[in-house]
Amino acid sequence: MPDNNPSLQEHIRRQRDMLYNMLLDPMKRAARRCARVWDQREMLDQALIKSLDQVPYCSYLYAMDLNGRQISANASQDGLIQADFGRDRSQRPYMQELDPRQDMTLSSAYISLRASRPSLTAVRKVRVDGELVGYLGADFDLRDLPLTKEHYSEPGRWRQIKGDPAIRSQVFQQCRIQSTLDDKLDLVLPVLEELVTEHGAFQVEIHFSSSRATLWFMHDPYRYHLVEIDALTDPDICLVYPHHAYPDDAVIPRDSIRPILQTFRHLRFADDTIYLRAGSLNLFNGIVGLNFSCDGSHYIPHDQFLARDSRFWNGI
């Protein structure tokens, strides 16, 4: 059964497999063309120019000897770049990653020296009469490469991320200090609930220790709104933002917003040493985010967060 929510690394692997398969045949044909004139520099340069348009999305095409030293000019869309003849590429990432079992290796992404941009290089073995004589290199700017139609989305599973070790080592020497927001939670939480359910706030981050909230709204999704404590305790703030119906495609149900906010309250006051510093929710990925005084962070599906028998609650 196909994986409907692949991990980031799995998604990268699929993209690389697609690119590898796309380049395999064009690089094979280019290597054969170059092999016929391998020891004739001028003709080799011309073979590279002729091959360039047949290797899709290629920025530079060049030939190297067995030691990784360039024996040709760089073939580019602007013509031949003679200055790269003799360049030692043996220590570049793509040469360090050569797979001896494969005729072609597609490198991991790296930062190019010429453009200082993320790039990939395909390296193809070149043989003359069955003998390995060198390599054909093809550079690709990641901006130019196509992506598959399958776009990456964040996994909907519980994740825990450790923070600053310096903070963790001192955690039992600290104690929660009552903030202004703590004092006024009975005013703040209903205002935040109203902004989410009636005014289109789809992501909310509550910073308890610094008495502020950061919000993103449906009507203005590319800009965050920083709301400080005076505004958070004033229901009139709801007059500032236009009414917006609760989105039909929200993953978090409307009636779960209040329980999530109330659970934030519980985690803020449950312990004076390990306490909630910041909590967030996002309606569309359904994730609740938590940052604790030990600088540990949790990202939890909302339904698991609200289930008191979940793995998260078992550890509290």
Model confidence at 235, pLDDT cuts 50, 70, 90, reads: confident
Residue 173 has pLDDT above 90, yes or no: no
Summarize pLDDT for 161-170 with one digit per residue, the tens. Answer: 555 564 445 5
> What are the structural domains, with CATH classification, of the chain?
8-144 (3.30.450.20), 159-314 (no CATH)
Residue 151 has pLDDT above 60, yes or no: no
Quote the longest CA-to-CA distance of the chain: 82
Pick from 83-87, 147-151, 201-205: least confident: 147-151
Summarize pLDDT for 93-129 with one digit per residue, the tens. Answer: 999 999 999 999 999 888 888 778 888 999 999 999 9
pLDDT mean over 276-292: 93
pLDDT mean over 276-291: 93
Residues of the chain with pLDDT > 90: what percent?
Answer: 62
pLDDT at 149: 44
Is the CB of residue 229 less than 8 Å from the CB of residue 184?
yes
Pick from 2-11, 18-27, 49-58: least confident: 2-11
pLDDT at 265: 93
pTM for the predicted model, two decimal places? 0.59
Q: Using CA atoms, how far apart are residues 135 and 122, in angstroms rounded to an integer? A: 10
pLDDT at 19: 87
DSSP assignment of the chain, as one string? Answer: ---SS--HHHHHHHHHHHHHHHHHHHHHHHHHHHHTTTT-HHHHHHHHHHHHTTSTT-SEEEEEETTSBB-SPEEETTEEEGGGTT-B-TTSHHHHT--TT-SEEEPPPEE-TTT-SEEEEEEEEEEETTEEEEEEEEEEEGGGS---S-------S-EEE---HHHHHTGGG------HHHHTHHHHHHHHHHHHHHB-EEEEEEETTTTEEEEEETTEEEEEEEEEHHHHT-GGGGGTSPPBPPPTT-SS-GGGHHHHHHHHHHHHHS-SSS-EEEEEEETTT-EEEEEETTS-EEEEEHHHHH-TTSHHHHT-
Residue 28 has pLDDT above 80, yes or no: yes
Strand partners, 74: 81
What tokens were used for 151?
Answer: 């776009």
Q: Using CA atoms, how far apart are residues 264 and 306, in angstroms rounded to an integer? A: 11
pLDDT at 148: 46
Residue 138 has pLDDT above 80, yes or no: yes
Residue 130 has pLDDT above 80, yes or no: yes
Q: Across all residues in the chain, what is the average pLDDT?
A: 86
Residues of the chain with pLDDT > 70: what percent?
Answer: 85
pLDDT at 308: 65
Residue 176 has pLDDT above 70, yes or no: yes
Phi/psi for 215 (5° steps) reads -130, 145
pLDDT at 218: 95
